[in-house]
């Protein structure tokens, strides 16, 4: 047992549901007790989704405990198949089904007989994998299933596309700024003259998965999601993949150069040769503002300032490199909660920070922040709250995230526009800290309060102790209004002492 208040990565089934709900016309059925379907709430709230989240539950209740699910799971699958005709139904195990050890595989096979669509059992064990690992596995599983199916039916398309093309692998629902990254990556590929063959899983149809091998190469923008699929496609179809996240000016250039290399290696046969150097140069010097920002006086003032970074592998590594390499900021420590992939992280960032921290314990991270007192934090929502407590500004760079991290405006993190967004995020975090600091030194410039008297300040009204006690229970931001309205109410009725009863009478009368 572990005493835990907060976790960075969710349980395995969340990963599976993120993949299933990313595809078009795929439905997930959870084998879970009542109340475990809050994934739908998260999806509907955070992403402000207009459509019903295609996730339902085959409810595990007392009867299931006593007699097993029996026909229930099969019925729920075939019912959903008839109601909504999904292409694929993914039966999703949870922590509960992990312990019940029911033969879900058998249910899937039986349901498949009666279903028009395909039925799969997500191969994820709650106690072995977290959300991110499960998502990676489920995507791989679905891709493999459809490619093998196509191969068996002889429907695998032959050969490559005429022009160089790419599959972008790993964009999903509830991913950090994934929807904006999607647009930016498409734009980047378009600028490079590369066709986008398929983007998976976000918005993809399972029918199109058989076309994946037609692309010249695969791009995996995020370390956490898509690697298993890319490796599988490399093994089975000899497709090269690029796992350099195009985040920050230097890494974007590195990613593009790698693309150039991969294309030219295959282009030899078809006389295809690309040279992206000029594009990189033009974008870096004149389109992205990040290179110019590094040179500007603003950024000079940040030189040597202390920062700490914490998040998932992709974002924490990329931001650490940007801070240290592109802005001259002193990254005291960089950390990740992707413990299962810690070596990769260490390898990526060790030369850009003093210390590497690998942990899933938010308490340890809070302590580490307090210990080094950085000028700014780049982390998850949890680190933002630590920052609030310690009065240190924080830029949010990775999940777990709240609704404000699903902005409507265009805010990619990848590509050249991404570099601009990241500059704003970093610069704004530091200047806010600076302003705060100056205000403290000069004792604040907001002196209005002492000069003019507040409306309620000179009230003559007499508050009884219980009245005052009730008033103090009212949240601070409306208390002044309630106090004024109550006093007005009392004055109008010639009530000399305001008790709790008067306070509530006033509320009833005027909605104070």
| The one among 148, 436, 466, 492 contacting another protein by CB under 8 A | 466
Q: What single string gives the DSSP state of each residue in 55-109?
A: EEEEE--HHHHHH--THHHHHHHHHHHHHH--SEEEEEE-HHHHHHT--HHHHHH
Are 86 and 25 spatial neighbours (Cβ–Cβ below 8 Å)?
yes
Under the binding rule (CB under 8 A), the answer on residue 469 touching another protein is: yes
- The CB-of-41 to another protein minimum distance in angstroms stands at 4
DSSP, collapsed to helix, strand or coil, labels residue 198 as: strand
CA distances to 230, 239, 265, 277, 357 from 236, in Å? 10, 8, 19, 32, 36
| The one among 151, 286, 339, 402 contacting another protein by CB under 8 A | 402
- The CB-of-43 to another protein minimum distance in angstroms stands at 8
95 or 291, CB closer to another protein? 95
- The CB-of-42 to another protein minimum distance in angstroms stands at 6
Under the binding rule (CB under 8 A), the answer on residue 292 touching another protein is: no
- CA 337, CA 317: separation in Å to the nearest integer? 12
Under the binding rule (CB under 8 A), the answer on residue 24 touching another protein is: no
76 or 283, CB closer to another protein? 76
11 or 412, CB closer to another protein? 11
Under the binding rule (CB under 8 A), the answer on residue 44 touching another protein is: yes
- The CB-of-62 to another protein minimum distance in angstroms stands at 6
Phi then psi for residue 90, to 5 deg, are -105, 115
Under the binding rule (CB under 8 A), the answer on residue 410 touching another protein is: no
Under the binding rule (CB under 8 A), the answer on residue 93 touching another protein is: no
| The one among 68, 70, 71, 99 contacting another protein by CB under 8 A | 99
265 or 509, CB closer to another protein? 509
Under the binding rule (CB under 8 A), the answer on residue 175 touching another protein is: no
Under the binding rule (CB under 8 A), the answer on residue 390 touching another protein is: no
Under the binding rule (CB under 8 A), the answer on residue 509 touching another protein is: yes
Are 310 and 335 spatial neighbours (Cβ–Cβ below 8 Å)?
yes
| The one among 84, 191, 355, 361 contacting another protein by CB under 8 A | 84
Residues 364-383 that bind another protein (CB under 8 A): 382
Report CA dihedral (110, 114, 116, 119) to the nearest 10 degrees. -10
Side by side, which strands form the sheet with 217-219?
A: 195-201, 165-171, 217-219, 241-242
Under the binding rule (CB under 8 A), the answer on residue 478 touching another protein is: no
**Strand residues in 205-362 grouped as ranges (E):** 217-219, 241-242, 306-311, 330-336, 355-358
Under the binding rule (CB under 8 A), the answer on residue 37 touching another protein is: yes
Are 352 and 327 spatial neighbours (Cβ–Cβ below 8 Å)?
no
Phi then psi for residue 155, to 5 deg, are -105, 10
Under the binding rule (CB under 8 A), the answer on residue 470 touching another protein is: yes
| The one among 67, 295, 453, 473 contacting another protein by CB under 8 A | 473
Q: Which helix (H) or strand (E) segment is 263 a member of?
A: helix 249-267
45 or 455, CB closer to another protein? 45
- CA 304, CA 127: separation in Å to the nearest integer? 43
Under the binding rule (CB under 8 A), the answer on residue 56 touching another protein is: yes
Under the binding rule (CB under 8 A), the answer on residue 511 touching another protein is: yes
| The one among 34, 441, 450, 451 contacting another protein by CB under 8 A | 34
Under the binding rule (CB under 8 A), the answer on residue 488 touching another protein is: no
Active-site residues: which are they? 298
**Strand residues in 151-234 grouped as ranges (E):** 165-171, 195-201, 217-219
44 or 264, CB closer to another protein? 44
- CA 15, CA 9: separation in Å to the nearest integer? 9
| The one among 155, 406, 465, 498 contacting another protein by CB under 8 A | 465
Under the binding rule (CB under 8 A), the answer on residue 82 touching another protein is: no
CA distances to 240, 251, 320, 464 from 257, in Å? 14, 10, 21, 75
- CA 498, CA 468: separation in Å to the nearest integer? 8
| The one among 36, 118, 224, 312 contacting another protein by CB under 8 A | 36
Which tokens go with 183?
């647009």
Under the binding rule (CB under 8 A), the answer on residue 83 touching another protein is: yes
Are 257 and 276 spatial neighbours (Cβ–Cβ below 8 Å)?
yes
Which residues partner with 395 through β-bridges? 378
How many residues in the shown chain lie near another protein by CB under 8 A? 66
DSSP, collapsed to helix, strand or coil, labels residue 241 as: strand
| The one among 51, 275, 343, 460 contacting another protein by CB under 8 A | 51
Q: At what angle do helices 131-152 and 12-22 cross, to 10 degrees?
A: 50
Contact residues toward another protein (CB under 8 A) are 1-7, 10-11, 13-14, 32-38, 40-42, 44-45, 48-53, 56-57, 59-62, 65, 76, 83-84, 94-96, 98-100, 126-128, 130, 382, 385, 400, 402, 465-466, 469-470, 473-474, 500-501, 504, 507-509, 511
């Amino acid at each position: 047992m572990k005493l835990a208040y907060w976790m960075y990565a969710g349980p395995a089934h969340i990963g599976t549901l993120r993949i299933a709900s990313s595809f078009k016309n795929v439905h997930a059925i959870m084998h879970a007790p009542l109340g475990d379907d809050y994934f739908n709430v998260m999806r509907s709230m955070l992403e402000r989704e207009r459509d019903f989240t295609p996730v339902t539950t085959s409810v595990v209740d007392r009867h299931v405990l006593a007699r097993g699910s029996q026909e229930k799971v099969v019925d729920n699958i075939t019912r959903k198949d008839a109601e909504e005709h999904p292409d694929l139904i993914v039966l999703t195990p949870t922590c509960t089904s992990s312990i019940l050890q029911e033969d879900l595989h058998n249910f899937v096979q039986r349901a498949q007989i009666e279903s028009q669509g395909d039925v799969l059992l997500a191969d994820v064990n709650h106690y072995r994998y977290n959300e991110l690992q499960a998502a990676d596995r489920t995507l791989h599983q679905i891709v493999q299933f459809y490619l093998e199916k196509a191969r068996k039916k002889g429907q695998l398309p032959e050969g490559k596309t005429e022009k160089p093309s790419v599959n972008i692998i790993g964009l999903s629902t509830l991913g950090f700024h994934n929807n904006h990254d999607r647009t930016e990556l498409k734009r980047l590929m378009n600028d490079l003259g590369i066709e986008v063959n398929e983007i998976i899983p976000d918005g993809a149809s399972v029918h199109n998965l058989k076309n994946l091998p037609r692309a010249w190469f695969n791009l995996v923008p995020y370390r956490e999601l898509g690697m298993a699929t890319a490796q599988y496609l490399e093994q089975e179809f000899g497709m090269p993949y690029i796992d350099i996240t195009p985040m920050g000016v230097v890494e974007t250039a590195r990613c593009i150069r790698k693309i150039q290399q991969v294309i030219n290696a295959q282009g030899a046969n078809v006389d295809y040769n690309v040279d992206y150097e000029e594009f990189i140069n033009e974008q870096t010097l004149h389109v992205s503002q990040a290179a110019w920002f590094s040179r500007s006086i603003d950024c000079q003032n940040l030189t040597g300032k202390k920062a700490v970074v914490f998040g998932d592998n992709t974002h924490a590594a990329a931001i650490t490199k940007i801070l240290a390499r592109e802005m001259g900021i002193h990254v005291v420590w960089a950390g990740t909660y992707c413990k299962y992939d810690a070596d990769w992280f260490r390898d990526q960032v060790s030369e850009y920070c003093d210390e590497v921290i690998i942990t899933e314990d938010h308490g340890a991270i809070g302590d580490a922040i307090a210990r080094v007192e950085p000028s700014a934090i780049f982390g998850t929502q949890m680190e933002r709250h630590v920052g609030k407590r310690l009065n240190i500004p924080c830029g949010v760079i990775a999940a777990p995230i709240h609704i404000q991290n699903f902005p409507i405006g265009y805010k990619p993190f990848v590509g050249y526009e991404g570099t601009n967004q990241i500059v704003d995020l970093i610069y704004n975090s530091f200047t806010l800290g600076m302003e705060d600091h100056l205000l403290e030194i000069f004792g604040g410039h907001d002196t209005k309060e002492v000069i003019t008297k507040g409306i309620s300040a000179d009230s003559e009204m007499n508050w009884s102790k219980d009245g005052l006690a009730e008033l103090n229970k009212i949240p601070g931001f409306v208390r002044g209004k309630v106090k004024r309205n109550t006093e007005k109410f009392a004055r109008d009725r010639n009530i000399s002492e305001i008790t709790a009863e008067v306070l509530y009478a006033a509320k009833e009368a005027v909605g104070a």
